[in-house]
Amino acid sequence: MSGPTITDFTGRVVVVTGGAAGIGRALGEAFGRAGAVVVLADVERPALDATVEQLREQTGADISGVVCDVTDPASVDALADEVFARHGATHVLVNNAGVGPPSARVWETTPNDWRWTFGVNVFGVANGVRSFVPRMIASGEPGHVVNTSSSDGAVAPMPGASVYAASKAAVATLTECLGAQLAEGGHPITVSLFLPHGRGLLATGLWTADRNRPPELAREVPRQTPAMTIETLAEMARKAGRELALQPLDEVAEDVLRGIRAGEYCIMLGGREEAARTMRERVERFAAGRNPTEPGHALLPA
């Protein structure tokens, strides 16, 4: 099945993982303002509770929160159990939770960098699909799945962010397969690959993801440089006489709702033509027997 399945979010049940802050929070607000029943899931209970309370006041929508560790299949199953028991359906699933490890050369990464990043970014998406999609199919109702990836991986990897890029490339492939399989089965569930992007950097929780890194998955080798933050980048820009451009997250979230209504597979706020040009250049290098990623490659901010 192709084309949009949901164009009106009024009364629709929407689940967003990584919903306590950043893009997840912005998505919760956007869906709430559009009349949806919103369930935000996150591993951080204090932040989740605060966000739910704030968004309820701001939107007047039916917004609730469920603590969930997307790396744990049982935790995601429990999330699905609660959503379907309380609301009887899920119409839109947004697998949005994500983390980023320190940048490092591949041979200088640690096993726990891979375990932590793939646990959240890849297994988190897979667990969401496994727990929710069979129930969405069984309901027979129109549905939509959005998986958050990144142009760093889905379009072209930044070599310095090898672990993160590899995880987001995996999400892109998983999403492509999911969409093809649902279409082959004739199910009224469409799929989108969400590539957060905009006119500037995105001030999301990804910059401080270490706050949620489990102790048992701590880096085996201490990082050599302090974690880069938006505040650090802003200060560096000021010292250089420039102002750091930030992309408002509400605009990114609203574009996701627009993309779902339009039935778009790839949802990306601007930069689509540049991304397509990058991909064509990569194909040409591949066809010539060269590495598609050239040394020093830098990508659109994502």
Contact between residue 247 and residue 198 where contact means Cβ atoms under 8 Å apart: yes
d(Cα 15, Cα 8) in Å, to the nearest integer? 16
**35 Cβ contact list (under 8 Å, min separation 6):** 8, 9, 10, 11, 12, 61
Q: Determine whether 265 is an active site residue.
A: no
Element (H, E) at 80: helix 73-87
Set 118, 164, 194, 207: catalytic member: 164
Q: What is the dihedral of CA 298, 176, 254, 33, to 10 degrees?
A: -140
Give the integer Cα–Cα distance in Å for 291 and 127: 32
Q: Nearest Cα to 40, choosing from 63, 70, 61?
A: 63
Rounded to an integer, what distance in angstroms lies between the CA atom of residue 112 and that of residue 217? 5
Cα–Cα distance, 161 to 56 (Å, whole number): 37
Sheet architecture: strand order including 143-148? 63-67, 37-42, 13-17, 92-95, 143-148, 189-194, 266-267
**Enzyme catalytic residues:** 164
